[in-house]
Amino acid sequence: KEPKLTLAANYLSINLLADSVVHPPMMYGTWKDWDGKPVTEKPLFYQGLNDFAAGMLDTVSTELVNTAHAIHQKYPEMDMSDVIHLFDWYKLNYKESITDFSTLQTAMRTC
């Protein structure tokens, strides 16, 4: 496959895409209880996504979708349809790779 470029509706909508803010909640969820001691194994990133981080990702993604909706309500000419929940984004972009579509967490862990 060749790289495929997709035209965005506007610059604001691409900045509200959940995939642009995935890493901070994941890092916080992974390390929030770290005791400062060396770990015995390298932690997995996506495959090691824990419940807390997955919940944070869901919350952040929902906030972004709600923000896009509020912008569109105030400025109907702004096409914010590109802003979708992270779970929906994963299902669209990794449909061939995901082996468990049950939740955002399982989709990210099995992708």
Domain that holds residue 54: 11-32+44-109
Q: Considering the domain boundaries, does residue 38 fall inside one?
A: no
CATH code: domain of residue 63? 1.10.1040.10
**How far apart, in whole angstroms, are the C-alpha atoms of residue 75 and residue 98?**
36
Question: 70 — alpha (psi -120 to 50), left (phi > 0) or beta?
Answer: alpha
The whole-number pLDDT of residue 71 equals 97
- pTM of this structure: 0.87
The whole-number pLDDT of residue 23 equals 95
Percent of the chain with pLDDT over 90: 84
The whole-number pLDDT of residue 20 equals 79
Q: How many domains does the chain have?
A: 1
Tell whether the model's pLDDT for residue 14 goes beyond 80. yes
Catalytic residues: 23
The whole-number pLDDT of residue 74 equals 98
